[in-house]
Structure 1
Amino acid sequence: MGDFLEIFLITSGLAVLLNVFFKKFEIPTIIGYILVGIIISYAYGFSGSEELTHIAEFGIVFLMFTIGLEFSFTHLMAMKKEVFLNGSLQVIICGLVCFLLVLGILGLGGKVGIIVGFALALSSTAVVLKILNDSGDIKEQYGRKTLGILIFQDIAVIPLLLLVDIFSSNNQNITQLILTTLISVVILLTLLYLIGKYLIDRIFHFVIRASSNELFILTILFIVMGASFLAHYFGFSYSLGAFIAGVLIAETKYKHKIEADLVPFRDLLLGLFFISVGMQINFKIVFENWDLILLLTLLVGLLKFGVIFGILVIYNKKRVAIKTAFSIAQIGEFALAVFSLLQVKNMLDGQTAQILIVVSIITMILTPFVLNNIRRISNAVEDIIQTQEVTQPQAVNSTLKNHIVIFGYGIIGQEVVQKIKNSGVPYLVLENDLNLVKLGLSRGENVYFANAAQEETLKIANIKECAVAIITIFNEARLAMLQQALESYGEVDIVIYTNNSSKKLFYSKIDKNVEIVQTERVLARALISAALEKRISKNA
């Protein structure tokens, strides 16, 4: 008891200190939990112990429960294309590619190779969705694509766990094994459905009448563990039962109260899971196979990025495809669950499992840094792709003088061009989106494909001789680079149309030659103008 209390105090203390420190740098708590697990494992020698295996499985059970609790059939049907089309293509293609990868590098063939390959195709729901929710990017187009694929991956975990149970059986009669499994699935789902339909509401109603919050939470835990026990009794993993329990509870009329009460508890249980993941790292194996680990990390990340980008770029903008691919190129927590189960069932040796676990953890640790800089990274990649696509870029007319240079040919940029064309003033537009450039050229407008943030481009556009530069770009990363490039042309008059998120970038460099046109003021003037016109016409 004394040793347990000491370990608990040190673990919780380290978790608090590390995560408070990481919070200042906007690093997710998941990384802090993993590092705590690594430290505890190194200090107390827990790596590879039987007790640790049970702790990890306990964390997996509650991880699956939290996913089930957030699972919504209504939300799922509203995102059919993102979930079922994008998700199925990503899982199947990435799974097959990763299977070939582990077959060639690790020598994993047959049943184990298939399971490991498809496990590597899964991404981190816990890490990605937390960051996207915190940043608000979950509402953007790439955030919706990412969410849809992650939902399908969560669903794909269920048959993957079933495959582990089927392949780990000593029964050589596959037909009989599949038939027995199907019968067990039907019985288990029927039992849990009946419990969910006729008992859960009554149980919650009875408990709520007692006006005891701790009894309410205890009831939830009882249902989760009961469903996990039933699943295990019928030959499936605890995790499958926990997931179904989460879905059943999510469909009750008490869902919102359950979510409100369990959010801190849920996050702590996720923390427990990731601490247990960190404890599983065996540094001896890591140091002996560091080159193989780095190779797998690089190859898996590049392959997943390439497959996801290739799927989405067919009917989405390149920027959306790039951001989505970067968002889910990592290996997720469900892969760790699968590797742990394979090791428990003696289907995967300890060294190989350790290599795969470390590769997964490295990709998860890198993910927050990628997502926090997703715009800057996607801009750079998009520039490279589009530059390669343009075989004969247009030559900018560098003889222009007293002209207007417009940065960006989006909606605002197009409106500006129309007004300038009607005035007869010479102008040129610099745009790095090839589709927008083609749109402008089709309209007979002076739109050029170029990276406006490069000083060489500004020289070609004869920026020193222009009358004024109009900036209609909202992308903060591009604005920052453009601002830096324009600093050497301090005498250029600049008009920048900004929103709340981008105006701060140029505020630090405000001079007499810089004018800020705020979105809110433009809208206010337009509203007042429209209202006065209505009043005048009414009184006329």
Structure 2
Amino acid sequence: MIPNILLFLLIAWLATFVICKSLRVNLILGYLIMGIVLGRSGVDVLDDTLLLSHLGELGISLFLFTLGVEIPWHRLVALRRYIFGVGVAQVIVCALFIAGLLYIQPILKIQDSVFLGLFSLSLAFSSTAVIIQILSERFELTSTVGRVSLGILLFQDLAVIGMFAYLGIDVQKASLGTNLLNWSLGAILSGLWVFFVSWTCKHIMTRYSQRDIGLAFIFVMVLAGSFMTHYFGLSSELGAFLTGVSIAGTSWRHHLNDELHPFRTILFAFFFFMAGTQINLRICLEQAQWIGYGVTTLFLAKLLVMLILGRIWKFSWSVCLQLGILIAGTSEFLFILISHPEFKSHFSSVTQQIGFGITFCSMVLTPILFSLTRYLLKFLERRENFSQGYRGKDKADVILAGFGHVGQTVAVALELNFISFLVVDYDIVRLEKAKTLGYPILHGEARNIEFLKKAGIGDAKVLLLTFGHSSTCVELVRNVRTKFPQLYIAVHVKSAQQAQHFQGLNIFLVYPEALKSGLQMAAISLECLGFSKEHAAHMAKTTPKTLFMENIERYDDSPEE
């Protein structure tokens, strides 16, 4: 029986994936619709299937594990302004606003203030899966909208984990002393668990074959962590998240995440199948008026809050509107929270279906409204000057001057680490390419210091010049260093002769690849001839630049063999 059901689920997942990709429909919505079709409102083949429920729970545990893996310390640092600034404000203000609306609405007679706070907080969250997919498909994760959205979503995810932890504590039915002991032990063991998983990952993955043990290691650690936190009175979701956090600080983070990706994708689809089966289409259609009222009110409330917060943080109206549309929807976690015993006791079957209907409709509307918003903004900006692609409202940490081969490589590295940067170039073709990739751009002559001031060099931390071969670059660097002494400057040069011109300017010089390759080969030669590894590495790192200039300069004009 179980193999038949599992085969049926895999076929349903494959069909949904192919159809959604062919029609360019959001996958999350496709999974929900497939769950409705297969559930009580459709052919009723997956209604109350225990296997689907367990697979869905495993899927959400792996999703929370992935969230933990995707929150390493450097990412928190890179997005700290948005996580602990805009993110905190969005969750708190939206929760308070929604709490006021819930208190005066006629459907739910809420008397429990704790439940009111938790339910308002859960409605303030947005769909991480839907928003990330929208931004990824448009290559906008490093744009201002993408970075702020990621910051908000990261704080929401942290708040969700906290809510799961609280709900896990709250359902324990024992004496206060026993509960306190269990919670204390759970908290201590959770902290020790993070160090244990990190240490185990480093030693096991180093000693044994990555290909053989990686996937098994993930499943064992996720399930063990979930069992441990649940056993001591905390939520199982917290254990999965902490397991991901412990691996985020290791060098195996990307490898293990890639190993898990296919299984996580399928099991996460099963979670949305399970969520779709909970929706009773007949009740939702009967309550369509209240669902429409709830979706409209929720969208307008969260959009208004995001517009106000965006202007406080000095984002442009365009960025504020896009952020508002993305954040206005509800979270996929609402399917879990509404079904949770702590929440379910306050809902009738009808109000529960209204909640499911609001969640489903908001997730359907988010990509549609975002596409319409982008189309409207492009229509309004069509006649504006090309150089207005960057509004200067968001401070860039790095100004990247030049988008040739070197500049494109730098942009990819900065994008992967979620570092805010601005591409400036005089070449329209290169800027069009940068714009297509979703990078913030500004058209103009980067050799002009007045132009760099308009680009925000006064607020930037790093200036990268990829055209060190230019005769005007040396004078530009001198002027920039004089006016902005705190700025880090890196210049790419093509020869030792060019590098000599920048001596004494207190900047980073990026030499030709041949220099690094030559030093590495020299280090290998020394090591093979009996020198220690430490000495060879020290030689490769500390060989004076003047030695390079004196001995290599005479070969600059000679042809390569």
Q: TM-score, normalised by structure 2?
A: 0.64
Q: Is the 8 A contact 1:37 1:277 kept in 2?
A: yes
Q: Tell me the amino acid that sits aligned with residue 201 of structure 1.
A: K
2:339 matches 1:336? no
Q: How far does the alpha carbon of each residue in 1:41-70 deviate from its partner, in whole angstroms, 9 at most, with x for none? A: 122254456665544433322221121121
Distance in 1 (alpha carbons) for counterparts of 2:388 and 2:279: 52
Aligned to 1:236: 234
2:109 matches 1:85? no
Aligned to 1:108: 110
- Could you list the runs of 5+ residues in structure 2 that have no partner in the other structure? 394-427, 437-441, 447-465, 474-561
Aligned to 1:511: none
Distance in 2 (alpha carbons) for counterparts of 1:109 and 1:170: 22
Within a 5 Å distance, the mapping from 1:132-171 to structure 2 comes to 132-170=135-173
Distance in 2 (alpha carbons) for counterparts of 1:300 and 1:113: 15
Aligned to 2:310: 312
Q: Is the 8 A contact 1:65 1:242 kept in 2?
A: yes
Q: Is the 8 A contact 1:166 1:177 kept in 2?
A: no
3-state SS in 1 of match to 2:340: helix
Q: Tell me the amino acid that sits aligned with residue 61 of structure 2.
A: V
Q: How far does the alpha carbon of each residue in 1:415-437 deviate from its partner, in whole angstroms, 9 at most, with x for none? A: xxxxxxxxxxxxxxxxxx9x9xx
Q: Tell me the amino acid that sits aligned with residue 139 of structure 1.
A: T
Q: How far does the alpha carbon of each residue in 1:468-512 deviate from its partner, in whole angstroms, 9 at most, with x for none? A: xxxxxxxxxxxxxxxxxxxxxxxxxxxxx88647999xxxxxxxx
Describe the shift of the 1:502–1:202 C-alpha distance in structure 2 as closer, same or farther (beyond 3 A).
closer
Within a 5 Å distance, the mapping from 1:213-252 to structure 2 comes to 213-252=211-250
Report how far residue 377 of structure 1 moved. Answer: 4.0
Within a 5 Å distance, the mapping from 1:114-513 to structure 2 comes to 114-170=117-173, 183-208=184-209, 213-314=211-312, 315-342=314-341, 346=345, 348-378=347-377, 407-409=383-385, 411=387, 500=432
Distance in 1 (alpha carbons) for counterparts of 2:299 and 2:170: 27
Describe the shift of the 1:348–1:161 C-alpha distance in structure 2 as closer, same or farther (beyond 3 A).
farther
Report how far residue 181 of structure 1 moved. Answer: 7.1
3-state SS in 2 of match to 1:66: helix
Distance in 2 (alpha carbons) for counterparts of 1:171 and 1:94: 34
Distance in 2 (alpha carbons) for counterparts of 1:323 and 1:413: 15
Distance in 2 (alpha carbons) for counterparts of 1:69 and 1:531: 43
3-state SS in 2 of match to 1:108: coil
Describe the shift of the 1:531–1:13 C-alpha distance in structure 2 as closer, same or farther (beyond 3 A).
same
3-state SS in 2 of match to 1:139: coil
Q: Tell me the amino acid that sits aligned with residue 359 of structure 2.
A: S
Report how far residue 216 of structure 1 moved. Answer: 2.2
Distance in 2 (alpha carbons) for counterparts of 1:356 and 1:92: 21
Report how far residue 362 of structure 1 moved. Answer: 1.5
- Could you list the runs of 5+ residues in structure 1 that have no partner in the other structure? 384-405, 415-432, 436-496, 505-518, 535-540
3-state SS in 2 of match to 1:136: coil
Aligned to 1:66: 66
Distance in 1 (alpha carbons) for counterparts of 2:303 and 2:182: 35
Report how far residue 274 of structure 1 moved. Answer: 1.3
Q: How far does the alpha carbon of each residue in 1:196-248 deviate from its partner, in whole angstroms, 9 at most, with x for none? A: 2433322333442xx6x353211210000000000101111211111111111
Distance in 2 (alpha carbons) for counterparts of 1:181 and 1:303: 40
Q: Tell me the amino acid that sits aligned with residue 250 of structure 1.
A: A
Q: How far does the alpha carbon of each residue in 1:82-131 deviate from its partner, in whole angstroms, 9 at most, with x for none? A: 11010001001111222233333322342222211101111111111122
Q: Tell me the amino acid that sits aligned with residue 366 of structure 1.
A: L
Q: Tell me the amino acid that sits aligned with residue 110 of structure 2.
A: L
Distance in 2 (alpha carbons) for counterparts of 1:241 and 1:347: 27
Count of paired positions: 406
Q: How far does the alpha carbon of each residue in 1:147-187 deviate from its partner, in whole angstroms, 9 at most, with x for none? A: 110111111112211332344345696xx699557624532
Report how far residue 345 of structure 1 moved. Answer: 7.0
Q: Is the 8 A contact 2:326 2:366 kept in 1?
A: yes
The Cα RMSD (Å) is 3.7
